[in-house]
Amino acid sequence: MKAEIRAVHNSQLVTINQNNLLFLEGFFSHRDFTVTSPDADGWQNIDWIPDHNAIEETAYVANLVLTHEKESGFLPIQISNIEDKIGTFVFKNASGERIFDLQFVETAIGDTSLRSISCEYFYNLLTPDKLIKSIRVDSINISNDNFIVEWRGNQFNNNPPPTNVLFTSNQVLVRFAPYEEGAQSAIIKVFYNRGAVVYLRVQGNKKKVVAKTNLKLNFPNGGETFTPCQDTLITWEGNVKNIYTKAELSYNDGKTWEKVDSAVADSMEWKVPTKKTSLTAKMRVSQDFTKQPPHNFPIGSSVYSVDYNFKSTKAISFSVGSISEWDLVKLDNSRIEYNLNSRNSGQLPISAKYISEDRFAAIYSVGNFDTLAIFQVGNTTAIEKIDISDFNPKQIYTLRDKNEFLILPSFGNFFRVYNSNTLAVKQEVVYQQPITDMGIANDSTIMAVSCLDGKVLIVSKSDFQTKDSIEFYRTPVIAKLNISPDGKLVGLSSLARANEGRTNSMIWDLETKNIVTSVNISGSDPVEIGFSPTGNMAIFAYQYQNQINIYDLVKGVQNGIIETFSDAMQSLAYSSENNSFLVSSVGSGNFKLKQYFFTFPETDESDGSFRIINPIIEKEPFVFGDEYIFNDEKKSFSLEFCNKGEVPLFIEDAHFQNQVHFSVDNFALPDTLLPGECIDISIIFNPKDTSIVTDSLILSSCNLEYAVFVSGNGLNRNIVFNKSIIDLGEVCIQDTTYVTDKIFTNGDPVPLRFNKFQVDSADIFAFENYKRDTILAPGESIMATVRVVPNKVGIITSDYYVMHSDQEKYKAAAKLQVKGIGTFVEISHTTLPFIPEQKVRILTIKNVGTDPVEITNAILNPTTDFKINTPTPIFIQPGETKEIEIEWIGTDNNISATLELEAVPCLTQRVIEIIDYHAESSMKIEDTNADPLDTTSIAITFYNNENASYKGIRKFEAFVTINPKIFIPEYAVSEYGDATIENVGIENGKRLMKLTVNGDFPDRGTLAKIIGYPGLSEETTSTMLFDTDKSIFWGESTNESMRSGLFTLLLTCNDQSIIHSATEIQSVSPNPVNSTANIQIYSNENEEFDLVVLDPRGEEMYKEKIKLQIGENIVQFDSSGFLSGSYYIVLKRDRIISSKKILIVK
């Protein structure tokens, strides 16, 4: 494109050149033009190639910006009705998404990374004949040799430029093959269509940001030497207060870490762990990113500007009509309103900033008038108001260290510098191009100024002279700029619409002029860009993103997000002292001012490694001399330990590994043994074993053990027996004999702890009347009484032992001996029980020995309940049996006595216990299945739980009942004695059988069997019962429990019937009767009968007519009209046919 242009300032022509003219196309600025010298009238010709991205359909819009001295001119250009559509290329990634820059992964020198993108033509141009018009791609190049760009075209045309392109999509390969260290950036330029150019920024690798922290580890910081379990202190500084600081330990020079602990302080007690030693240990401390819920200030109207005071104890918020100041400790109740005393209608707050410890400034606009108001803190009325309408102000900046503040115009190439105290204008600083923003490094002597032409000027804060600059070629207009506190990094953020929907934010290194990172995280205009106090973190805030983003420049990752407003964010202030943000908004929300508290993530590790090593203990094995085992005299020996290492030895415990023969004597613990120091430990050697004994003395230190081998010789104890065998002579078996004598002497030159005597045959021999658990001096003896009760005939020996020193392994042994004498006999009873029914019992004695025996006496004790009817002496020859008759003459059933037999020679058994017999007997009539064609037997079994076996003949008597028609007894048998059965008769329709057995019964078995004949009846079963009223059973010494049995006839025919010979009364049930009874009558005919009741004298008491049918009949009888007594039921028809006896009980 070509134009004629002329510029005039104060009626004077201004010559246009490359330095004072700037093209602004679609918020991209450039100086890609040529200009001629002025003609006589001052007109100049200017040629330029437009940015085709700024052409919409057939219209082209741009702005010319001209600066001269302190003036800036702004001239819009619009060209319409361009003949042909002018197409433009755009770049897209492999997913088809439009891109504005291209990022490569970290790539080492010598390696290559490859990205494939497409360069697509935005319009298809047509010829007059409506055919697709080709686009000529003139060339493609890249501005950095660390990158290689290659045009691949498409499947129809893969020729490199210059070439004609018919189809819209074309592949471009970009290789990143770095041969230089550090971050690399470049611009890809595609020239096409009569000189048009499209640009793409390319970035490879990133500038490494050296981690710096406010958090500083002080100790340990490298070079120290520690020992496990050593108590020390980890210290640091620069931590955010009231937030946990975490300490971590590495054993491998920082490759891996493990947590030590966390503390809300600047120090931490640390016990060096016992896990392992290390020569390359490191410590680090860190604070994680944290955030707290915001504090909402009670402001409902839009807030346009916020700021902290220099100490971050107060804050101001600027709304229409007033400025509010807040005490950040008291918060809501501390609000002070500062009035602007101007009409609110049409007022526009612009900027408010603290300019000193006790002053703040505010700029506001009313109509075309701009005012700078100065307030003294606490005074709600402005102390000064300055008209700055000629300046068109935009923002206030404070130079805290110079006591100055700056005012930047909305559009202009200069700014004013004011003295914060006098409020006088110190100077006006003029630059070549209009200024868009500035950033001030509080900890440095420089500041950064961004200009409309894409340059960032590095300026001295002292004289505002430019010291350096970075030109951001073809970069959208920089809207926000800041510089890190140390002045080494600069951050900038462009207008969102200038980059077609994506805000391009970048961090650059000022020293190398290399990019550190590029962050495209929002689609709205930036509100603020800033840095943490260390410069490790970058802060990005955008108007409509509703959050503050914290980006870790060291790790290259986003490290925290703080959510803000749901409507537009307007202003942001950051306090490094409080680690907080003040954020304001304009819009419809309830709270327009919020404060957010947070902490930046910070980590600092020790500058160098330190060592964790163990002490070194060296000691030769120690050999003790000879000592008697179990010596109660304490003998101590001294062992010396020396620490030959570099670190202290913390002795927590000193003990022997086995703690049997050796022990530590009075060692004060814990103790610390410094490097080069020695310590004596007193040792007691008291062997518990003979010959060589060994152990290891263990010094315990922090879960580690240091051992010294020790050994010594144990001597056995010399116990001298008075006799090797203590012979107690001849003693009748079961008799007791005592012998008292000196048993042994302590033959050692040291004391002996004697415990007791121990005997193998303790049922025969025993030691009595001696001192137990006593200390025997050298040469001292022990006296004791030996008691013996032989239990067999012949020589009896047993070992006995002297138990000493509270142990059982070492004991001195000798022997005891006695000869048991006596005659062997067999006696029928060792216990002789009596029952009341059998007052006389016989005790039999059989001589089973080879010599005659004379029973010289039989002694009862007591003599009140029993007497012996057999006179003594009683002579019994070998193999012969004699009897002794004992009679119970007492009346008390609870008896207990003994019978002792005296004999020559003495008996092996001679004491018999006499007691009364008691038993619990369980008896059962076993179920019986009977064949009517043969005899059958009814078995009665028993089990007797006895206090003693009776062993003798006694009588058993019981009555058993059964249906008389189903069984008749013949005889009884028992394997234990004589058995009889008596058929007593029939009572109450049941056969009554009396069983008697005289026998010697064991405790269980079959008591007897009743043999008899089964009979046919109209019934096939019958219950067999004991009649407890008539039965004596075993007698009164026994309590019985009975179980009935069932008698069952087998092999009966299904059609079997019993033909009765006559009509008769079969049964009366129940009988006795106290109310009603059922009378069972069998009849041979269907007739009417008389039922009569007679008393014992035969007098008729009752009569009624009954109708009987053939077969069984049941007639109910009511006894309510009768007195208690015996009666007869009689069935009559002309004569008595049948009768039954009935007992009525009331």
- 746 three-state secondary structure: strand
Q: CA angle at residue 153 from 147 to 159, to 5 degrees?
A: 95
Distances from the Cα of 451 to the Cαs of 312, 437, 472, in angstroms?
31, 7, 10
Question: What are 4-62's pLDDT values in tens digits?
Answer: 999 999 889 999 998 999 999 877 888 888 999 999 999 999 998 877 666 666 778 88
Mean per-residue pLDDT, 392-418: 94
Say how far residue 757 (Cα) sits from the centre of its chain: 57
Q: What is the pLDDT of residue 670?
A: 61
Question: What are 269-308's pLDDT values in tens digits?
Answer: 999 887 778 889 999 999 887 888 888 888 888 999 999 9
Number of H helices, E strands in the chain: 0, 104
Mean per-residue pLDDT, 803-810: 89
Question: In 520-656, at which residue ranges do the beta strands (DSSP E only) sit?
Answer: 526-531, 537-542, 547-552, 557-563, 568-575, 580-586, 593-599, 602-605, 610-612, 622-628, 636-642, 649-651, 653-656
- 759 three-state secondary structure: strand
Indicate the CATH number for domain 1064-1144: 2.60.40.1930
Q: What is the pLDDT of residue 499?
A: 46
**Fold exhibited by the domain 838-916:** Immunoglobulin-like (2.60.40)
- The pairing of strands 132-133 and 505-509 is unpaired
What is the C-alpha separation between 269 and 256, in angstroms, rounded? 22
- Point out which residues pair with 707 in neighbouring strands: 698
Mean per-residue pLDDT, 1086-1093: 91
The listed CATH number (1.20.59.10, 1.20.1050.10, 3.30.1360.120, 2.60.40.10) that belongs to domain 719-821? 2.60.40.10
Q: What sign does the CA torsion over 99, 102, 106, 107 have?
A: positive
What is the C-alpha separation between 375 and 361, in angstroms, rounded? 6
**Is the pTM for the entire model greater than 0.85?**
no
Question: In 332-382, at which residue ranges do the beta strands (DSSP E only) sit?
Answer: 336-339, 347-356, 359-366, 369-376
1057: pLDDT strictly greater than 50: no
Q: What is the pLDDT of residue 802?
A: 96
Q: What is the DSSP letter of 381?
A: B
Contact 67, 7 (CB under 8 A): no
In b/e form, how buried is each residue of 537-552, taking b as 16+ CB within 10 angstroms?
Answer: bbbbbbbebbbbbbbb
CB-based burial label for 110 (10 Å; 0-12, 13-18, 19+): exposed
Mean per-residue pLDDT, 426-442: 93
What is the C-alpha separation between 841 and 825, in angstroms, rounded? 19
Q: What sign does the CA torsion over 422, 428, 434, 437 have?
A: negative
Contact 599, 657 (CB under 8 A): no
Contact 1066, 1081 (CB under 8 A): yes
Question: What are 132-188's pLDDT values in tens digits?
Answer: 777 889 999 999 999 999 999 988 889 999 998 876 789 999 999 999 888 888 899
> What are the tokens at 802?
């002297």
What is the C-alpha separation between 705 and 477, in angstroms, rounded? 72
Mean per-residue pLDDT, 851-874: 91
CB-based burial label for 443 (10 Å; 0-12, 13-18, 19+): exposed
Q: Mind spelling out the 3-state secondary structure of 1052-1072? A: CCCCCCCCCCCCEEEEEECCC
Place of tokens 């404060």: 595
Distances from the Cα of 1077 to the Cαs of 525, 589, 992, 1074, 1143, in angstroms?
117, 104, 22, 8, 11
Contact 372, 385 (CB under 8 A): yes
Q: What is the pLDDT of residue 787?
A: 95
> What are the tokens at 926?
């076993």
Say how far residue 961 (Cα) sits from the centre of its chain: 76
What is the C-alpha separation between 774 and 791, in angstroms, rounded? 33
Q: What is the CA radius of gyration of the chain?
A: 63
Q: What is the DSSP letter of 524?
A: S
- 52 three-state secondary structure: helix
561: pLDDT strictly greater than 90: no
Contact 330, 377 (CB under 8 A): no
**Fold exhibited by the domain 216-290:** Immunoglobulin-like (2.60.40)
What's the order of all strands across the beta sheet hosting 369-376? 347-356, 359-366, 369-376, 384-387
φ, ψ of residue 401 in degrees (nearest 5): -75, -10
80: pLDDT strictly greater than 60: yes
What is the amino acid identity at position 174? V
Residue whose C-alpha is closest to residue 1119's, from 1051, 1082, 1069: 1069
Q: What is the pLDDT of residue 1054?
A: 56
Report how far apart the first and last C-alpha atoms of the chain are (Å, whole number). 146
Residue percentage of the chain with pLDDT more than 90:
48
Q: What is the pLDDT of residue 57?
A: 63
Q: What sign does the CA torsion over 460, 465, 468, 470 have?
A: positive
For the chain, give the mean pLDDT: 88
What is the amino acid identity at position 689? D
Mean per-residue pLDDT, 440-452: 91
Q: What is the pLDDT of residue 428?
A: 94
Question: What are 87-96's pLDDT values in tens digits?
Answer: 678 889 988 8
What's the order of all strands across the beta sheet hosting 1064-1069? 1064-1069, 1076-1083, 1111-1118
Contact 967, 1013 (CB under 8 A): yes
Mean per-residue pLDDT, 555-582: 82
What is the C-alpha separation between 245 and 265, in angstroms, rounded? 7
Residue whose C-alpha is closest to residue 336's, from 354, 351, 314: 314
Q: CA angle at residue 815 from 814 to 817, to 5 degrees?
A: 165
> What are the tokens at 1138?
């049948």
Q: What is the pLDDT of residue 53?
A: 66
The listed CATH number (3.30.70.890, 2.30.42.10, 2.60.40.10, 3.20.20.70) that belongs to domain 615-715? 2.60.40.10
- 844 three-state secondary structure: strand
Indicate the CATH number for domain 919-1049: 2.60.40.680
What is the C-alpha separation between 857 and 430, in angstroms, rounded? 151
Q: What is the pLDDT of residue 179?
A: 94
> What are the tokens at 95?
């997913």
Q: What is the pLDDT of residue 679?
A: 82
Q: What is the pLDDT of residue 260?
A: 93
Q: What is the pLDDT of residue 1033?
A: 96
CATH superfamily of 88-204: Immunoglobulins (2.60.40.10)
- The pairing of strands 622-628 and 653-656 is unpaired
More confident residue, 515 or 877: 877
Least confident of 194-208, 211-225, 462-476, 1117-1131: 194-208
Least confident of 75-79, 554-558, 653-657, 986-990: 554-558
1019: pLDDT strictly greater than 90: no
Q: What is the pLDDT of residue 760?
A: 95
Least confident of 220-234, 337-351, 434-448, 768-782: 337-351
Model confidence at 83, pLDDT cuts 50, 70, 90, reads low
Question: What are 587-624's pLDDT values in tens digits?
Answer: 776 778 888 888 878 889 999 999 998 888 777 788 88
498: pLDDT strictly greater than 50: no
Q: What is the pLDDT of residue 934?
A: 83
Residue percentage of the chain with pLDDT more than 70:
96
Q: What is the pLDDT of residue 330?
A: 86
471: pLDDT strictly greater than 80: yes
97: pLDDT strictly greater than 90: no
What is the C-alpha separation between 797 and 793, in angstroms, rounded? 12
Question: What are 930-963's pLDDT values in tens digits?
Answer: 988 788 999 999 999 999 999 999 999 999 999 9
Q: What is the pLDDT of residue 502?
A: 59
